[in-house]
Chains A and B, each alone.
Chain A
Amino acid sequence: MIGFELSDDQKALQETARKFARNEMWPKAPHHDKTSEFPHEIMKKAFEAGLMNLSIPQDLGGPGFAILDQCIITEEIAYGCVGMGTSMMANDLALTPIILAGTPEQKQRFVKPFAEKLKYASFGLTEPGHGSDAAGMETRIEKKGDHYLLNGSKCWITNGGVADQLTVFCTIDRKLGPKGICAIVVDKNMPGVSVGKHEDKMGQRASETVVLNFEDVKIPFDRLLGKEGEGFKIAMQTLDRTRPLVAISGVGVARAALEHAVKYSKERKQFGQPISGFQGIQFMLADMAADVEASRLLTWESAWMIDAGKPASMYSSFAKRVSTDTAMKVTTDAVQVFGGYGYVKEYPVEKLMRDAKLLQIYEGTNQIQRVVIARELLKQF
């Protein structure tokens, strides 16, 4: 059986998230886009409304939402402002490795406090020289007596400046490639941790993106997740779980752009009639709407597969690739529907177009998604 009806709970979650996006995020989004100011107030309200830390399990004080439920909530958040959404989701990305691979003691220590009070955690995988080739990373740990010493730097770290805690991936022996990678939990106040430059981004400017530097940071052994060498697997398992959320963010952005385009096309008159009367505009709107729906369903399917415990790498890559490409196309077309007005900051759609671009790049570029898909596909026949 296939059913697409949301449960009453899911509808209630969606309604709260939608209301929050409309009333709290949407009106403030232009300000944070312009100034790149971190949305502290909104994050505080989002935490109180339970819109953050969606993946913290119930036994650690969180809501323990299934990935599908998280998708339903995240679409609304991204509709409100995907830049703020990226910062709201960063905790889940950083805490998932601990939830997946931490000991019960580590979960109590490194996850539970995030359910109790607003704190930020960041996920550090990418380095200046290693993006898609994550396994080639250079940030390293070495054993020194009763601790590790961490050295190196990580870039594109969401919430890195405001973060209290960092989940960092590093190598213990570069010759081992992916098998030498370790996942560790770093307290940002540890001596030797410093925040480098804040990136001045094209879009998603409400989210904070920084460089983090580590210089002889002493890491006690009890901050290692799993065993030495399991870090790459932990990172990949984490990204498998969070990929549908990036995909659904694309759906949220695209839906916002579509709504603006439809409304504007009915207001804007040329040649004596609203431009929504022209087939050229109608075809664009129709394609935008169909792409949004298709992207959502593909994303829901991938989320459902993860929740059902099925192998979902290929499907979550389908979802990420299709939905975020949709976001780029739909936002670009929305700008086209707005014409010259779409290109200026007085109107809301150029922001959406700038925001969408990042979705095609982060958490695995869409080219890497295609690599994952092709690899799985070629195994099948």
Chain B
Amino acid sequence: MKILCTVKRVTDPEVKLKIGADQKSIATDNLKYVLNPFDEIAVEEAIRLRDKHQGEVIVVSVGPSDVSTQLRTALAMGADRAIQIVHAGELDSDGVARLLQKVYEQEKPDVVLMGKLSVDNDSWQAGPLLAEYLGLPQATYASKNDSLESDNEKNKVPGITIEGTTATVVREADGGIETLKVQLPAVITTDLRLNIPRYPSLPNIMKAKKKEIKEHTPQSLGVDVTPKVRVLKFELPPARKAGVKVADSAELLAKLRSEAKVIS
């Protein structure tokens, strides 16, 4: 089984962000980058599926040349090889999906695994757009019935079940859990409770150096990535207001009803 797994570098959620002087970007000096946590889950799932069904895991990323750091992390976790689309300029989800479409057409994987969102831009778009451009079925927000404390999780059993050319995906929906069957090839995006990603072990970090990273550019893939989404302005969220103390549960209920309006 061939699994294509997308990874994105995002600003380290532990680092405090500053808005750039133009107010349309994030100041990049002294920024630290990490692998998008949702993509880490996708990589973990891809490795588990590969270990169960044999085959290979190919990780792909779009970004400046130093995105290779995050690709190496995915390779150290256990991916087999990597593709890097070098692009330093602006990029929106649509551009990413169109680039990934080309990679898909070259690699012809059986399944595409992607994080459901990236924690920096929070757009949730790239997965569904890719499925649409490829005309493939999609299952978003893949989760699983087992808890993250279960023996299945400890034994690294994949949460997505694949039998023949059908994938069964448990997904989190508003009211509860929904089970989908999708025909492969398909695009599946991963949610938080699908698995606990492994640490790239130190010996594997050293071994990952020897794995292949193939480079492309938007030009070499023949994709125009001029953004269709324009950023007008970044603003910091308003400072949190101090909480209030309530005397008893009656007052709490009244406030939840009349002020917060979260219950009726």
B5 to chain A, nearest CB (A): 19
Please state if B206 and A49 are interface contacts (CB–CB under 8 Å).
no
Give the contacting residue for B202; candidates A8, A16, A45; CB below 8 A. Answer: A16
Instruction: Knowing A50-B204, A63-B206 are in contact, say whether A12-B72 is a contact too (CB < 8 A).
Output: yes
What is the bound-complex CA distance between A17 and B73, given in angstroms?
13
**A48, A49, A51 interface centre (most CB from chain B within 10 Å):** A49
Chain A residue with the shortest CB-CB distance to B68? A8
> What is the number of contacts between chain A and chain B, taking CB atoms within 8 Å?
46
Please state if B201 and A12 are interface contacts (CB–CB under 8 Å).
no
Determine whether A275 belongs to the interface, using a CB cutoff of 8 Å to chain B: no
Interface size class of A (residues with CB under 8 A): 20 to 34
Please state if A49 and B201 are interface contacts (CB–CB under 8 Å).
yes
Give the B interface residue count (CB, 8 A). Answer: 16
Determine whether A306 belongs to the interface, using a CB cutoff of 8 Å to chain B: no
Q: Within 8 Å CB of A50, what residues of B? A: 201-205
Give the contacting residue for B199; candidates A11, A49, A73; CB below 8 A. Answer: A49
Q: Within 8 Å CB of A109, what residues of B? A: none
The 8 A CB mask of A49-87 against B (1 = contact, 0 = none) is 111001000000011010000000100000000000000
Q: Within 8 Å CB of A65, what residues of B? A: 202
Q: Within 8 Å CB of A73, what residues of B? A: 202
Please state if A12 and B199 are interface contacts (CB–CB under 8 Å).
no
Chain B residue with the shortest CB-CB distance to A48? B201
B149 to chain A, nearest CB (A): 13
Please state if A63 and B209 are interface contacts (CB–CB under 8 Å).
no
Q: Within 8 Å CB of B147, what residues of A? A: none
Chain A residue with the shortest CB-CB distance to B69? A8
A7 to chain B, nearest CB (A): 10
Q: Within 8 Å CB of A19, what residues of B? A: 199
Give the contacting residue for A9; candidates B34, B68, B198, B205; CB below 8 A. Answer: B205
Q: Within 8 Å CB of A45, what residues of B? A: 199
Residues of chain A at the chain B interface (Cβ within 8 Å): 8-9, 11-13, 15-17, 19-20, 45, 48-51, 54, 62-63, 65, 73
Q: List 14 A-B contacts (CB under 8 A).
A: A8-B68, A9-B205, A9-B209, A15-B34, A16-B199, A16-B202, A19-B199, A45-B199, A48-B199, A49-B201, A50-B201, A50-B202, A50-B205, A63-B203
